[in-house]
Amino acid sequence: MSDFVGGFWSAYVALLTLISVVACGVFLWMQGRAKHSAGKTMGHVWDEDLEEFNNPMPNWWRWLFYITVFYSLGYLVVYPGLGSYKGTFGWSSAGEYNTELAEGEATYGKIFKAYLQQDLQTVAGDEKARQMGERLFVNYCAQCHGANAKGSPGYPNLTDADWKWGGDPATIKTTIMDGRNGIMPPFAHLGPEVIKDLANYVRSLSGLPADAARVARGKESFVTAGCVACHGADAKGNVAMGAPNLTDKIWLFGSSEQIIVDTITKGRNQIMPAHKDFLGEAKVHLLAAYVWGLSNKPAAAAGK
């Protein structure tokens, strides 16, 4: 879109808009000047007896359209609609949005900041804070993790105890504040047979059915191919890197052999966007407390 923000395109849009509005007025004027023969048909017949007559449009109907033309011209003077012209009122949707944000901050900011002074476990045990956190979650997180926070393929379940980067309150807050970028590099260079061996070995780690011969070869390839560098020799992952535990029965993309083969072959690139600039620390604090409470017992923690 950056190609369409120059002065030429602004003038082009403005001119095209004005021509369109004025053309409507000219068309109405021409209709008022046209000669009509009342009672004479145009020769068009539908459904055997439905005829089109050459009657003039009622004046009240034409004047309603004239009013819309005049209103449109007035609107384009006071509001933006002619290219980069901002209108005499200087109104913009961005300005309206920022005004609403400022009003909301003035009304609710003190409430959010009051919770910011409390530790996350205490906030998680506060029923009012939990409800506020839930509303924040539904508005900003449910699109990926689902309204029930149980995720979907590629989006983690936030209600269990499995965490790629760690599930303590401070880490969850850091994840929401700064975002995460989880990268599983592609290993297509290993070839389809080695990759299939690895997939069977990985499946066996969590008790899934697997070909014994491939499991034996895959166990050796797991070391030689460098998988241990991220997932560890015991394949239990590394929270510092966001490398998942391969020995449990929790799968982010699916546990079928083909899905695991695709993951090893093509790799994965997951992005959790940062929310600190958009929501601010106070709202993230409430949100992190709510998320932590989904897989913990905040009431008991709050009573400590």
Instruction: Please write the tens of the pLDDT for every residue from 184-240.
Output: 999 999 999 999 999 999 999 999 999 999 999 999 999 999 999 999 999 999 999
Instruction: Please write the tens of the pLDDT for every residue from 45-85.
Output: 787 778 877 777 788 888 999 999 999 999 999 999 898 88
Residue 46's pLDDT is: 81
Confidence of residue 299 (pLDDT cuts 50, 70, 90): low
Surface-to-core class of residue 202, CB atoms within 10 Å of its CB (0-12 exposed, 13-18 middle, 19+ buried): buried
Predicted model pTM: 0.72
Residue 2's pLDDT is: 52
Residue 66: closest CA among 20, 14, 15, 22: 22
* DSSP, res 51: E
Instruction: Please write the tens of the pLDDT for every residue from 253-280.
Output: 999 999 999 999 999 999 999 999 989 9
The CA-based diameter of the chain, rounded to the nearest angstrom, is: 94
Q: Are residues 263 and 115 in the same domain?
A: no
Q: Are residues 118 and 239 in the same domain?
A: no
Mean pLDDT of the 137-153 span: 95
* DSSP, res 238: B
Q: Are residues 6 and 68 in the same domain?
A: yes
Instruction: Find all residues with CB under 8 Å of 231, minimum gap 6, and list them.
Output: 237, 238, 243, 244, 245, 246
Q: Any alpha helices (H) in the chain, and if so which ranges?
A: 7-33, 59-78, 93-116, 120-124, 127-140, 142-145, 169-178, 192-205, 212-224, 228-231, 257-266, 276-279, 281-294, 298-302
Q: What is the mean pLDDT of the chain?
A: 90
Residue-number span of the structural domain to which 143 is assigned: 99-179+273-302
* Structural domain contains residue 194: yes
- We report the CATH number of the domain holding residue 259 as 1.10.760.10
Take residue 62 and report the two structure tokens written for it: 């034409």
Instruction: Please write the tens of the pLDDT for every residue from 3-41.
Output: 656 788 889 999 999 999 999 999 888 877 777 666 677
Confidence of residue 145 (pLDDT cuts 50, 70, 90): very high
Q: Are residues 22 and 72 in the same domain?
A: yes
* Structural domain contains residue 68: yes
Which secondary structure element, helix H or strand E, spans residue 254, and what is its range?
Answer: none
Residue 40's pLDDT is: 74
Q: Are residues 162 and 16 in the same domain?
A: no
* Structural domain contains residue 105: yes
Residue 164: closest CA among 102, 236, 92: 236
* Structural domain contains residue 84: no
* DSSP, res 101: H
* Structural domain contains residue 29: yes
Residue 104's pLDDT is: 84
Q: Are residues 119 and 257 in the same domain?
A: no
Phi and psi torsions of 120, nearest 5°: -65, -35
Q: Are residues 159 and 280 in the same domain?
A: yes
Residue 203's pLDDT is: 97
Residue 296's pLDDT is: 92
Q: Are residues 174 and 291 in the same domain?
A: yes
* Structural domain contains residue 204: yes
Take residue 81 and report the two structure tokens written for it: 């609609």
